[in-house]
Amino acid sequence: MADALVLSIDGMGGDNAPDIVVEGVEIAARKSPDVSFIIHGDAERINHLLELAPHARAVSRVAPAERAIGMDVKPSQAVRQGRGSSLWNAVASVEEGEARAVVSAGNTGAFMAISMFRLRMMEGVHRPALTCTLPSMRGKVALLDVGANVEADAEQLVEFAIMGEAFHRALHGTARPKVGLLNVGSEDMKGHEEIRAAARLMRAARIDLDFHGFIEGDDIGKGVVDVVVTDGFTGNIALKTLEGTARLVGQFLRDALTADPLARLGALFAYPALRKLRARMDPSTSNGAVFLGLNGVVVKSHGGATGSGYAAAIDVARRIAASSYREEIARNIDRLARADAAAAAAGVGEAN
Amino acid sequence: MADALVLSIDGMGGDNAPDIVVEGVEIAARKSPDVSFIIHGDAERINHLLELAPHARAVSRVAPAERAIGMDVKPSQAVRQGRGSSLWNAVASVEEGEARAVVSAGNTGAFMAISMFRLRMMEGVHRPALTCTLPSMRGKVALLDVGANVEADAEQLVEFAIMGEAFHRALHGTARPKVGLLNVGSEDMKGHEEIRAAARLMRAARIDLDFHGFIEGDDIGKGVVDVVVTDGFTGNIALKTLEGTARLVGQFLRDALTADPLARLGALFAYPALRKLRARMDPSTSNGAVFLGLNGVVVKSHGGATGSGYAAAIDVARRIAASSYREEIARNIDRLARADAAAAAAGVGEAN
């Protein structure tokens, strides 16, 4: 590889930074030795941790940053006062072309605000979208937006569809990910106007993707589509409801398997299988939410991720940075813009 | 009891009607012998089934209805052409004062439309809300609206809160159910304008209920509040996402417990405990969605409910019909109306 892939890491973001961060880089470096890292943060502590992380040490450069952004810092404060922090510098590495992607487990709002401020939106994209990966009966499902914006109009929903489709292909190698719009029914007349207009616009603009139409909430787990598109309000509530339900069922299962001696004995025999189940449900195996639509790959790890969870987020950054997702998005965004222009020229609404 | 409680039953609604319906009435009649029933539908078939259901037979009257409304009939069609069907007549029994509540496992849209058309909205209530009951770590949670309306303004959200609170008390006997508004964060400035205005209005109008403020999607499963209020679009997606996730985790658990001989052996020992878990997660134990806000209690059973599931829906109808939920709702709706009037008189917006 002529041009090695460089990832920028916020060494100080997350509940157990920088320890977990370096542990994550070590695991990632062992798996993908062709990637190198710039780790931003407390150089003394990070260098000390790298002494025990030989794979990471071999491919990392430590970039000193004198401070970290706390979890209670508001997005607007972070943009005004964040300069010089590990998070700010990690994003700046992408802006300056030193790195192709940035990973942080720190303050989500601050990370999104600084990324938007420094990296700016991709041409033709109106709003970025936070995208997460979920398990389903048929494979991994991308859900977006899960909270970057509270509302989305029809055109923004189509942009999310375009970005989510390229994201799924970049991450999982799916040739033609199937895209669905989250709604309260699958019939054409269901839902509110924005969502119906988005479906019409998607077809009218001849966006080059496999558009399935509307799906319902239970279709996420069924894996009816690969990419689920919705506004940030609905997406955030769907995501958190899903996480809460998985935790509730897990708790009920623990209650059941510790209720009496026979159940405890059964759980003992089934222990290896139950551990695998736990890994399958573990959010860290799907760690790495991506902030799509900016000039650069921005990946958010769970704040409480383990080392292997953090490595999963790094892997997301690596796959997307190494893909041609930007060109794919640009092509479809261009189709959308031309459809808008044609509709405007014809003097009709964009959605008709 | 001087005035026995009478429930009206759509004998022909649901996947396995009238068999499952009569089975449900039999179970309910055994449990609550003071309730009597009017079962609407094919008299010959229902009477035949009642021969084998002695408890039901003792407290039921069969009201012949020559036809049933199919599952593919649109709500508007049902209102125009539904007259004389078992569903229509079952609702009419409540309208005419013969029964205090109606239960159907039939076409949801048709049931809601006919109920709204025949029973009309309670005074002061602008839109009805479909309300379901969910399990949580701390007890049962009421979620509304789960799909009667696609949108809801601030005042309607407050009405849903008022109705949901009275519903939870009627169903579970909770003295002061805690009420939360579903949002994307718990801070006051989060979410869109309608939801923030609803929170302000709830406080300004001095609605007599325990208002917790905003909650997030994962708080549903935690049982942070007893009543979760949202618009019908978000509520429907949250409910279906939750159902889909529970099914997905159940599938993953089955996969894990059948993966190898040791796991299968463990599952055998844990079988009674796992069966209890299944019952705890089974939607039929929480069967009975209530269409709140009308002049009469309207309860929808799952179309595929078993006999005991149907009996659970009947039990919901019985508890609510026997409660003082209407008076409680009327009192708080009156507070809301007076707050509106005062705000209008003062020349300020309702939400300030």
Chain B contact set for A140 (CB, 8 A): none
Which chain B residue is nearest to residue A234, measuring alpha carbons?
B234
Contact (CB<8Å) B217/A276: no
Nearest residue, CB atoms, B246 vs list A219, A249, A274: A249
Give the residue on B whose Cα is nearest the Cα of A190.
B150
Distances (CA, A) of A34 to A2, A173, A322, B2: 11, 19, 11, 83
Confidence of residue A182 (pLDDT cuts 50, 70, 90): very high
- When pLDDT is cut at 50, 70 and 90, the band that residue A126 belongs to is very high
pLDDT exceeds 70 at position B347? no
Q: How confident is the model at residue A347 (pLDDT cuts 50, 70, 90)?
A: low
Nearest to B266 among A136, A219, A266 (CB): A266
**pLDDT tier at B2, thresholds 50, 70, 90:** very low
Q: Considering Cα of A44, then A46, then A47, then A52, what sign does the dihedral take?
A: positive
Kindly report, residue by residue over B245-259, the tens digit of the pLDDT.
Answer: 999 988 999 898 898
A184 to B267: CB separation less than 8 angstroms, yes or no = no
Whether A192 and B150 lie within 8 Å, measured CB to CB: yes
DSSP secondary structure of B238-264: HHHHHHHHHHHHHHHHHHHHTSSHHHH
* Residue reference for tokens 């618009």: B231
pLDDT tens by residue, B315-336: 999 999 999 999 999 999 999 9
pLDDT-derived band of residue A28, with 50, 70 and 90 as boundaries? Answer: very high
- Mean pLDDT in residue range B91-110: 96
Chain B interface, mutation test: which of A240, A251, A262, A280, most B Cβ atoms within 10 Å?
A: A240
Residue B185: pLDDT over 60: yes
The edge-to-edge listing of strands for the beta sheet with A297-300 is A60-64, A35-41, A5-10, A101-104, A297-300, A289-292, A129-135, A140-144, A227-229, A178-182, A210-215
Percent pLDDT > 70 in chain B is 97
What burial letters (b/e) apply to A15-40, b meaning 16+ CB within 10 Å? eebbebbbbbbbbbbeebeebbbbbb
Whether the per-residue pLDDT at B279 is higher than 90: the answer is no
- Sheet containing strand B60-64, edge to edge, reads B60-64, B35-41, B5-10, B101-104, B297-300, B289-292, B129-135, B140-144, B227-229, B178-182, B210-215
Q: Which residues contact A86 (CB under 8 A, 6 or more apart)?
A: A10, A11, A12, A13, A40, A41, A42, A65, A67, A68, A69, A106
Cα A139 from Cα B235, distance rounded (Å): 26
pLDDT of residue B45: 97
Stretch B113-140: mean pLDDT: 94
Sign of the four-CA dihedral A156, A158, A161, A166: negative
Average pLDDT, chain A: 92
A59 or B348: whose pLDDT is higher?
A: A59
* CB nearest A245 (choices: B234, B237, B245): B245
From the list B151, B246, B257, which residue is nearest A270 (CB)? B257
SS3 content of chain A, % helix, strand, coil (to 5): 50, 15, 30
Q: Whole-prediction pTM value?
A: 0.92
Whole-angstrom Cα distance, residue B321 to residue B93? Answer: 14
Quick one: pLDDT band at residue A55, thresholds 50, 70, 90?
very high
**Residue appearing with tokens 């039921």:** B60
Which pLDDT band, with edges at 50, 70 and 90, does B275 fall under? confident
Write down the pLDDT at residue B188.
73
Question: Please, are residues B118 and B281 in contact by the beta-carbon 8 Å criterion?
Answer: no
Q: Which of B141, B239, B249, B255 to mutate to test the interface with A (most CBs of A within 10 A)?
A: B249
In this complex, do A217 and B234 lie within 8 Å of one another by their Cβ atoms? no
Q: Each residue of A1-11: pLDDT tens digit?
A: 446 899 999 99
Query: Average pLDDT, whole number, for chain B?
Result: 92
CB-closest option in B247, B260, B277 to A273: B260
Contact A242 B237 (CB under 8 A): no
**pLDDT grade, residue B3 (50/70/90)?**
low
Distance CA A99, CA A22 (A): 18
Q: Which residue of A has its CA nearest to B190?
A: A150
| Residue range A283-333, pLDDT digits in tens | 666 788 999 999 999 999 999 999 999 999 999 999 999 999 999 999 999
For residue B331, the distance in angstroms to the closest alpha carbon of chain A comes to 31
**Which of B151, B240, B277 is closest, CB to CB, to A217?**
B240
What pLDDT shows up at residue B311? 96
A-chain residues near B242 (CB < 8 A): 217, 241-242, 245
Q: What is the rounded distance in angstroms from the CA atom of residue B306 to the CA atom of residue B296?
A: 25
Q: What's the whole-number mean pLDDT along residues A114-129?
A: 95
| Contact status, residue B168 vs residue B142, Cβ threshold 8 Å | yes
Q: What is the mean pLDDT of residues A111-132?
A: 95
B108 CB neighbours in chain A (<8 A) are: none
Confidence of residue B281 (pLDDT cuts 50, 70, 90): confident
Confidence at B283, pLDDT banded by 50, 70, 90 = low
**Per-residue pLDDT at A225:** 98
The pLDDT of residue B33 is 87
Interface touch A232/B184, C-beta < 8 Å: yes
pLDDT in the model for residue B338: 87
For chain A, the residue count is 352
Q: What distance in Å separates residue B320's CA from the closest CA in chain A? A: 27
Greatest mean pLDDT range, A251-265, B161-175, B249-263, B327-341:
B161-175
Residue with tokens 């796959």: A319
- State the average pLDDT over residues B257-268: 89
